[in-house]
């Protein structure tokens, strides 16, 4: 039998199938009943609101017609679409009308995916079986809506082309850069594959479990490497510095596709920012989407990667003390801490960096600067905090969160603060803010906060 029906209108914004008119549906149904037209496969997503969906596969097609006919013939209650206890032409007509109309899928969580494709298995098989939770619009809690990750965004951004998944955390970043002669030296601040790989590996190693059972975060960096990754590009000129925000926003307005707002972070790799003598390795919004990496003559894969992770950490809600701004804590083992930004995270418990690009996992012990106990160190391995050449077994007080040697309580020296109190580690990975970026470009409503990171390799 040849059948045609009026297919619902796929909305490019939501993926939701809209109802076509009753008249159109009725006409199509009658046409179909008369067997006059050709059959076209349906792609409509059907849900419980679809009386013509008889096979439960989320697609209206010839199989639904066949099952309806069998059930009608057998007098099964589901085929009594006219609901009068009689199996007659009115039921057939009701079926044809429903088939012709297409379906409104039920989308309980308003994420752009019908409940019937959100199978809740945690395994993504395709747009017809997404594995996502029908009652959670962001199943993997990465700030990207399930429907956007499966079908693309309302603004036409093809997120699947970037390899994102609705059941595994993803972060998207576009990097634009300058290249040329800066302050008398030729420099090219374009990210390299080596730098990008170091960042990717750091996020992939994150101790976070995804709905699909994998661990880690998939960070996607567009630096113009080809294919879908065509956003990242070289910026014109070779300014010794640009202003953050004014110049930054002007470049962003020109070079950052508007449909990436709310989905991608935007970074500029430049020589310096704000002044030609600024020795600040970067600047970032806290809980936002903008940041810069500015390493001038110290630009290298390693330095750029660790600074990238540091600055986007600010975008993700991390501060120089994790949950607080207090810097240089010897027991805060994160590249967010100036103590570890360039030396890297500590992997052997001596509180000094070992080149690992990582955020803190919050494993270190508290240190009360008024009652320091060297045998305890930061994680049970003794540390000579006062640098007197041995491990003291008596408690003492000292101001430890300093870039240089520790100083007595009440003095600051090179320390972030002058007072002595309890220093705490932070579970950075567990305290990332995964809230959706707003199209207005900030993650949170309210005052905008910027971190200028006055740290430099070797400082």
| Site residues (vs Zn ion, CB under 5 A) | 451, 453
Q: Which is nearer to Zn ion, 98 or 336 (CB)?
A: 336
- Closest distance to Zn ion from the beta carbon of 338 (Å): 8
Roughly what angle, to the nearest 10 degrees, separates helices 89-101 and 22-33?
A: 120
Q: Closer to Zn ion by CB, 39 or 323: give it.
A: 323
Of 5 and 342, the one with the shorter C-beta distance to Zn ion is 342
User: Which class for 255: exposed (0-12), middle (13-18), buried (19 or more C-beta within 10 A)?
Assistant: middle
Smallest gap from residue 319 Cβ to Zn ion (A): 8
CA distance 395 to 94: 84
Evaluate whether 385 touches 405 at the Cβ level (below 8 Å).
Answer: no
What's the closest the beta carbon of residue 329 comes to Zn ion, in angstroms? 14
- Edge-to-edge strand ranges of the sheet holding 282-286: 218-222, 170-177, 264-270, 290-294, 282-286, 449-453
At 147, give phi and psi (nearest 5°).
-65, -35
Please state the closest distance from residue 426 (CB atom) to Zn ion, in A. Answer: 14
Q: CB 243 → Zn ion: shortest distance, Å?
A: 18
Nearest distance from residue 239's CB to Zn ion, in Å?
22
Distance CA 279, CA 399 (A): 26
For every residue of 211-276, DSSP letters joined together read TTS-BS-EEEEESS-BTTB-S--BPSS--S-B-TTHHHHHHHHHHS-GGGTTTEEEEEEES-BSST
Q: Closer to Zn ion at the Cβ: 170 or 425?
A: 425
**Taking the complex as a whole, how short is the minimal distance between the CB of residue 332 and Zn ion, in angstroms?**
13
Residue 369 CA, chain-centre distance (Å), reads 37
Judged by beta carbon, residue 98 or residue 453, the one nearer Zn ion is: 453
Nearer to Zn ion by Cβ, of 130 and 451: the residue is: 451
Residue 252 or 319: the one with the smaller Cβ distance to Zn ion is 319
Closest approach, Cβ 289 to Zn ion, in A, equals 16
Calpha distance 320→335 (Å, rounded)? 9
Picking from 157, 175, 300, the residue whose alpha carbon sits closest to that of residue 235 is 175
Rounded to a whole number of angstroms, the minimum distance from the CB of residue 6 to Zn ion is 57
Report angle CA 53, 56, 62 to the nearest 5 degrees: 55
Q: Give the nearest distance from C-beta 302 to Zn ion in angstroms.
A: 17
Q: How far apart are CA 148 and CA 145, in angstroms?
A: 5
Q: Which residues contact 349 (CB under 8 A, 6 or more apart)?
A: 377, 378, 379, 380, 381
Residue number closest to Zn ion, CB atom: 453
How far, in Å, CA of 432 to CA of 120, rounded? 25
Comparison of 16 and 453: residue with beta carbon closer to Zn ion: 453
CA distance 38 to 2: 5
Q: Whole-angstrom Cα distance, residue 53 to residue 28?
A: 17
14 or 306, CB closer to Zn ion?
Answer: 306
For Zn ion, give the closer residue by CB, 95 or 308: 308
User: What's the closest the beta carbon of residue 455 comes to Zn ion, in angstroms?
Assistant: 7
- The closest of 255, 260, 237, 320 to 286, measured between CA atoms, is 320
- Shorter beta-carbon distance to Zn ion: residue 92 or 453: 453
Q: Among candidates 270, 275, 276, which has minimal Cα distance to 290?
A: 270
């Amino acid at each position: 039998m040849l059948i045609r029906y009026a297919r619902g209108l796929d909305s490019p914004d939501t993926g939701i199938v809209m109802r076509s008119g009753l008249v159109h549906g009725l006409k199509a149904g009658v046409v179909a009943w008369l067997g006059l037209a050709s059959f076209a496969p349906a792609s409509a997503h059907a849900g419980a609101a679809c009386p013509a969906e008889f096979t439960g596969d989320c697609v209206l097609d010839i199989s639904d017609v066949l099952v309806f006919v069998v059930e009608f013939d057998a007098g099964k209650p589901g085929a009594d679409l006219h609901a009068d206890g009689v199996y007659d032409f009115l039921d057939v007509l009701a079926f044809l009308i429903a088939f012709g109309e297409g379906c409104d899928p039920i989308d309980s969580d308003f994420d752009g995916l019908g409940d019937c494709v959100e199978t809740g298995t945690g395994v993504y098989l395709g747009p017809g079986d997404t594995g996502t939770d029908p009652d959670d619009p962001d199943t993997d809690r990465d700030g990207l809506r399930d429907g956007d990750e499966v079908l693309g965004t309302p603004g036409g951004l093809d997120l699947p082309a970037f390899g994102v998944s609705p059941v595994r955390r993803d972060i998207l970043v576009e990097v634009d850069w300058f290249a040329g002669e800066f302050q008398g030296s030729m420099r090219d601040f374009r990210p390299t594959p080596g730098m990008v790989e170091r960042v990717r590996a750091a996020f992939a190693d994150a101790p976070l479990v995804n709905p699909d059972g994998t661990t880690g975060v998939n960070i996607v960096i567009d630096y113009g490497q080809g294919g879908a990754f065509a956003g990242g590009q070289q910026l014109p000129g070779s300014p010794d510095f640009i202003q953050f925000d004014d110049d930054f926003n002007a470049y962003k307005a020109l070079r950052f596709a508007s449909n990436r707002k709310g989905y991608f972070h935007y970074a500029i790799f430049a020589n310096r920012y704000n002044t030609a003598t600024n020795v600040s390795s970067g600047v970032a919004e806290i809980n936002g989407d903008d940041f810069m990496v500015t390493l001038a003559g110290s630009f290298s894969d390693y330095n750029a990667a660790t600074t990238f992770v540091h600055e986007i950490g600010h975008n993700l809600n991390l501060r120089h003390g994790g949950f607080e701004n207090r810097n240089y804590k010897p027991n805060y083992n994160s590249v967010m801490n100036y103590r570890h930004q360039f030396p890297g995270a500590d992997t052997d418990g001596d509180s000094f960096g070992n080149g690992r690009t990582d955020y803190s996992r919050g494993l270190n012990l508290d240190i009360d600067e008024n009652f320091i106990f060297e045998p305890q160190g930061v994680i049970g391995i003794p540390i000579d905090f006062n640098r007197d050449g041995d491990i003291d077994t008596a408690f003492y007080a000292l101001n430890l969160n300093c870039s240089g040697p520790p100083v007595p309580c009440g003095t600051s020296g090179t320390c972030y603060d002058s007072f002595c109190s309890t220093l705490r580690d932070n579970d950075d990975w567990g305290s990332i803010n995964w809230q959706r970026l707003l199209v207005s470009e900030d993650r949170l409503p309210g005052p905008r906060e910027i971190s200028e990171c006055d740290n430099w390799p070797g400082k």
